[in-house]
Amino acid sequence: MKPSKCGRPKKTVLDSLKTLVWYEYVSEQVFLYCMKRNIQLTDNELKNFRAGNKRLDIFFDLEGSNSWYKYSLAKISPTLESLELVDHKISGASIYFQHPIWNFLKDVPRGSLDVNQFYSRLNHKTREILEKEEVTCKFDFSYTDTNDYQKFENLLEFYSCILYQYYKAKFEMNNTEAEKCYFYFSRNTNHIIDEFGATGYFFLKILKLHLKLPSNALTHQFSIESNLNNQNLLKNMLTASKKFSKRYEKLEKDINDFQLDGAQYKNDHLYIVIENVETLNK
């Protein structure tokens, strides 16, 4: 399994994110594989609920290559050959890197044709759920049970569903439905954090650039930071950002450089009231 070579177009934050989301999923699955077989794990692996990079190199017959260390920092992205080899041991892992949501998030769709093309690329099960109107954001404005994500084959399908519903409503000029999707998204920001940790925080920032509250909305704007703080997750994100600075400082820079239709993500000032990052690990 060889890492992808240089000479390609400059990577954006989305290129880094899809590598890291894939990496996190594979690392967790290898960890669970070892747990089920009573393979001895390090204290650090048990603490993080993830297989370490050296273990991943060995697991995928890449001992001494440091490939998985490079993946963990998104310094390289997996090739098609790499994805296939990983899929051979961790079935279906490649969808986290190849999911259609990554291309969709690059730009604002210009009309219903773009949205319908995105819909056609979603998982058959997802399309079936949408057609049967089983997803809460389609019909219940005040619903707060956050278990809908479990109906989907993976979390990227779940958030794709929200994106699709939002843009479908927007291009139908149905502000009420668009507002429902925005409200629904605000109640479902924790799942990606639960699954992918601080990497999920940056994924949410990109989604928030897409999902905007209609100007005549009845509900209020929310911020990713305030949501995470209310769920006692913001400190964890700051701690992870400090602990894995090589990864998250670059992601922060990349997301600050990322523009969607001229708009950039702005961090909520709630950071100001959080205690100094240096004290978080004490």
SS (H, E, C) 115-150: HHHHHHCCCHHHHHHHHCCCCHHHCCCCCCCCCHHH
Judge whether residue 268 has pLDDT over 70.
no
**Interatomic CA distance for residues 206 and 192, integer angstroms:** 13
d(CA 95, CA 176): 32
Question: What's the pLDDT at 39?
Answer: 95
pLDDT tens digits for range 5-37: 555 667 789 999 999 999 999 999 999 999 999
From residue 102, alpha-carbon distances to 87, 99, 121, 207, 277 in Å are 19, 6, 12, 11, 31
pLDDT at residue 145, rounded to an integer: 57
What torsion, rounded to 10 degrees, do the Cα atoms 189, 195, 200, 201 define? Answer: 60
Examine the pLDDT at 269 and tell me if it is beyond 50. Answer: no
For residue 98, the surrounding DSSP H or E stretch is helix 95-98
Closest listed residue to residue 112, CA positions, set 161, 174, 175, 167: 167
Residues 6+ apart with CB under 8 A from 192: 155, 159, 200, 203, 204
What's the predicted TM-score (pTM) here?
Answer: 0.85
pLDDT of residue 252: 87
CA angle 4, 250, 205 (to 5 degrees): 105
The overall average pLDDT reported for the chain is: 84
Q: Which two tokens stand for residue 244?
A: 């894995």
pLDDT at 271: 40
Q: How far apart are CA 210 and CA 208, in angstroms?
A: 5
Phi, psi for residue 279 in degrees, rounded to 5: -95, -5
**What integer pLDDT is reported at residue 102 of this predicted model?**
97
Q: How far apart are CA 272 and CA 14, in angstroms?
A: 27
> pLDDT tens across 200-259, in order?
989 999 999 999 887 777 667 777 777 777 777 777 777 777 777 888 888 888 888 888
pLDDT > 90: percent of the chain: 51
Contact of 162 with 101, CB cutoff 8 Å: no
Q: What is the pLDDT of residues 72-115, one digit of tens each?
A: 999 999 999 999 999 999 999 999 999 999 999 999 999 999 99
Q: What are phi and psi of 7, to 5 degrees?
A: 95, 5
Whether 141 has a pLDDT exceeding 60, the answer reads no
State residue 186's pLDDT score. Answer: 85
In this predicted structure, the answer to whether residue 2 has a pLDDT above a threshold of 60 is: no
Among 253, 246, 236, CA closest to 198: 236
